[in-house]
Structure 1
């Protein structure tokens, strides 16, 4: 049986934390901007750190597992 937990969590977090799609931290003119569909180098770095932090928490600390029957 394959463990699909890491794959599903990684894909969902990647989609939700894409800079500029839902939220951009830091924004171009404000600290937080919503749905502007733009990005910058700083926001890519911040979103990458948040992504790997949440991915580590979900996969190692919590241990999410999804098994396909």
Structure 2
């Protein structure tokens, strides 16, 4: 879930709506924005990747690691 801090900021809806996401390793992780504004990420292979979320000048990242199960 994407939120703002403070949650009742006057521009929180605009910040959340404008958020985009991209990955630096589509062979490891994919990410899509849903109609409701949330995001779904899927591990697609082994390795490490970073998902970058951006809204205007705000940016945050999430590191992910894909592993095979045996």
Normalising to structure 1: TM-score of the pair? 0.29
Comparing both structures, which one devotes a greater share of its residues to helix?
1
Comparing both structures, which one devotes a greater share of its residues to strand?
2
Normalising to structure 2: TM-score of the pair? 0.29
Relative contact order: is structure 1 or structure 2 higher (C-alpha 8 Å, sep ≥ 6)? Answer: 1
